[in-house]
Structure formats: structure tokens, C-alpha cells
A = this chain, B = another copy of it.
């Protein structure tokens, strides 16, 4: 998928009113499913998941605040952010004074509508710009939220690209935000594009499209005995703004995925952040009981741009070239993850005679030794089972691809044996 195609997917998903449950998530997964085979899971309300319980399902058809003239001064149909997520149904007449505690604005960003939710405390509310609030008279107003909050299901989707190995790479994108484009329709779009590009990988790649927090917790609860297969992973969000890429390390800090992203981001503008137990679903994957090697890739990080969690996070904020750039870096990271590994030099006493095997130039004395030969010497020297090819690339300063090519040549010559993941 090109940057433009990913952007078109963002635009198509943008109007849907998603939340942590409900038809918005289902519709989103349907559209993702047009691109990828997707296993869609429905988990009933009330199911215990780790320390949590799957909540009631929330759906909404319409919502508005009408002024005395009957005009919709707040209109869910124009922008679904106008309703606080998980608002319970309401229909009545309110003065502005009565309504005021239910209205949320951003006084410091008076033209933007905030995004607010109340998943676990039953209430209702509207979000609007401070400017719109300032224009509202004393009322009375007709207020309608035509929602349902009832037993139902939590929905998430999985797409798996099976590799030769059962060792897995986890890519996790949250699908619970309503009309917010960079966070996280851009992440969904790049994940879809990455999945489409994977063909016959060595590792197995598992893409999880799930609502934030409760979705990741539900997935973890249902996959507890599988998570030890995860060799690397990352959450993917805010993948399309104009900022440089940001990688946030896993809780471990030095997991393979952390070293891989440090490697592929070096040489381009980027930021690397230490782990914090806040942000996206790496919070759950990196909880101490799991402590999975899962980092987080974004462009501008969580809560780091002024339009974050506001109506300003619309498709205009997302750039096709940024989506394409995120995809390229991910592709590079995936290639390294997929190809990395630890090897054992099968002729570890002295250097093996490479020339006899056609692996070495025959004319000695020259000082401009080829990169390919240096890569072979480095791989042979470091392959004691304790260093990965990425370690060799990092220590030698050679390109990862040159190191891989050397390992391939040496393995073909019977001088090297793969012994494990990186």
C-alpha cells in the first residue's frame, strides 16, 4: 500500500463512532478485513479477564443538544467526539445551568472539541469547543443521547502471518478511538499495510486490533499460555503525523526489539524514550507478570502534539508521506527481526581457510579488503552462540545486510550453524 492508499483507509475509517465495545469496532474490523483475513473474536459482557471484567456493550445512534429554536447546537452526526464515550441514554429539557456539569471544553484551545470517555462510571456528557459553549444562551435545551448500554460483547480482531517458526512478533494497534485520525487510524492503516507486505517470513507475525486497555487485557487473558512465544513486539499508534519517529523501549530496556529499533532508526531523525508505564497497550504487555519484550512505535509520541485527543486530530493531520515513512522503517525493523539470529562457528579454532572454499580473494597483501570478507571474519569471530547478527552489525559497524549475507555464505559452506533467536 502506498502512503496515499493508507491515507484513504484513514479517511474511510474516520467517521465511524468507535468505543471499547460496540458496532463501531465491528465495522472497523470489517473494513480491515477487506484488506486482510481477520479472525474476529466476540467476548461476552461479564467475562472475567485478568483483574477486569468485560463491560457492557455500548452503542449509539444519535445525540444532540437543541436550542430553543430547535437547532442542533451540539450534533453527534456532525462529529462523534461531541458525545462522551459510554454516555448512558438521556432525553429531557435542561437549562444551560443544569446542562453545564455535563459539558466538556478545552478553554486553552477554544476552537477544538475534546475527546472524553467514561467507561467504568455511568454518566453522560457532551464535548464541544469553548467557542461554541460561549455562544450558548441560557436555554432551555432539548437534550438527547440515543444510546444503549447493555450486555453484549467486546470485539477484537487478529491477523496472523505464519512463518517457519512458531516464535512470534506481536504488532498491536488500538481500535477504540472514535473520530481521531493519527491516534489511531494511522496506526491501524500502517499495520494493515505491513501485514499485506509480509510473505513467507521466518517468524510468525501476529497483528492484534483491539480496544485499548480492556482489549489488550482481554487478549492477554485469553492467550496467557501463548505469550511466551513472543520474541518481540510493539504497539503502533500516531503513525502519520509530520513529526520524526519515536521508539519507546520495552520495560526490559535491552530486549531484541529495543536493539532492532535503535539500529534501524540510527541515521535518521528520531527519538528513543525509556519505558514508562503509561501510553498505549505496552502498559499491559509490559506489566511485571508478563514483562513481554514489547515497545511502542509512534511518530510524535502519546499526548505529545496539541491536537492529541481533540477534533484537531483529523485526517488533515495525517500525511501520506509520513505513513509511508513509518511503514518503511517498520519494514526494515521486521526484516532485521526476521533475519536476526545467533550462530555457532563450526570451525572455531583459528580462522577457517576461506580461500579453499572460494570465499576469499586469492591475492594477498592488499589493504582494501572487501566488506564481504570483513563481514565473514566478523561473523566467524563472534559466532559463539552468544552474539546475534545484529550484535555483529553493531560491533563491526557493517550493514546488517552484509552481515546476513556473510552468515548465509558461511552457513552454505558448512562453517556456521544457526543456534537460536537473537
Contact = CB atoms under 8 A, between A and B. Distances in A.
Q: Which of A52, A114, A217, A349 has the most CB of B within 10 A?
A: A349
B348 A287 contact: yes
A367 B353 CA distance: 61
Interface in A51-70: 51-52
A237 B190 CA distance: 55
Contact of A345 (B278, B283, B288, B365): B288
A200 interface: no
Given A350-B50, A356-B120, A377-B283, A365 B288 contact: no
Interface string A205-232: 0000000010011001100100000000
Interface string A382-407: 11100000000001100000000000
A95 interface: no
Nearest to A218: B350
Contacts of A83: none
- Judged by DSSP, the binding face of A is loop
A363 B251 CA distance: 27
Contact of A283 (B85, B123, B224, B351): B351
B117 A381 contact: no
A289 interface: yes
A287 B384 CA distance: 10
Nearest to A114: B365
A287 to B, nearest CB: 5
Interface in A352-368: 352-353, 355-356, 362-367
B116 A217 contact: no
A213 B51 CA distance: 57
Contact of A350 (B287, B355, B382): B287
A118 interface: yes
B278 A367 contact: no
B213 A118 contact: no
A374 interface: yes
Contact of A287 (B50, B119, B351, B369): B351
Contacts of A116: 363-366
Nearest to A224: B349
A288 B289 CA distance: 37
A283 B381 CA distance: 8
A51 B380 contact: no
Contacts of A349: 50-51, 220-221, 224, 287, 289-290
Contacts of A309: 365-367
A348 B278 CA distance: 15
A378 interface: yes
Given A85-B364, A119-B364, A350 B51 contact: yes
Given A118-B362, A217-B351, 7 more contacts: A51-B353, A114-B366, A120-B356, A283-B377, A288-B381, A289-B349, A309-B367
